[in-house]
Structure 1
Amino acid sequence: MTKTFAVRGDHIQLDQLLKAANLVTSGGEAHAAVEAGLVRVDGHPESRKRAKLRAGQRVHFNGEDIVLVAAT
């Protein structure tokens, strides 16, 4: 399933995105998922918990795809 997420400002951190998109219930759960190599950004595994994500990027986690778009 693919969702879109509007990024307000220049970027959103990966851990914050996972929480805001309701893919995890806590920051600790987000950090654990990233550390375990379960999160992919633009098709590549992402190991930085606080990676800065911008509009146009795609995140895949737990069977969900999130496409980041610029907030209007």
Structure 2
Amino acid sequence: MKTIQISSEYIKLDQFLKLADCVSTGGMAKALLQEGAVKVNREPEDRRGRKLYPGDEIEVADCGSFQVVRGKE
């Protein structure tokens, strides 16, 4: 499982997908979510604006598994 560091309180799911290099645009993120290819904490997720906090685990089909961690500010 890869870790993705954030310096803020949370990150939105569409921003996270770009940061994790799973997609390169917001449109690609939307399509990926509509396909049901993303799980947050083992539950299917389709909301681009879902807030992710340190400790959340994200699984993306054909991209990998990730955990959000708090980075240094």
Aligned to 1:66: 66
Q: 4+ runs of 1 displaced by more than 3 Å?
A: none
Question: Residue 71 of structure 1: CA displacement?
Answer: 1.1
Q: Aligned equivalents of 2:47 and 2:23: distance in 1? A: 16
Count of residue correspondences? 71
TM-score normalised over the length of structure 2: 0.91
Q: Aligned equivalents of 1:66 and 1:8: distance in 2? A: 16
TM-score normalised over the length of structure 1: 0.92
Q: For the Cα contact (< 8 Å) 1:15–1:50, is it kept in 2?
A: yes
Question: Residue 39 of structure 1: CA displacement?
Answer: 0.3
Q: Aligned equivalents of 2:49 and 2:31: distance in 1? A: 12
Letter aligned with residue 71 of structure 2: A
Task: Give the % identical residues.
Answer: 34
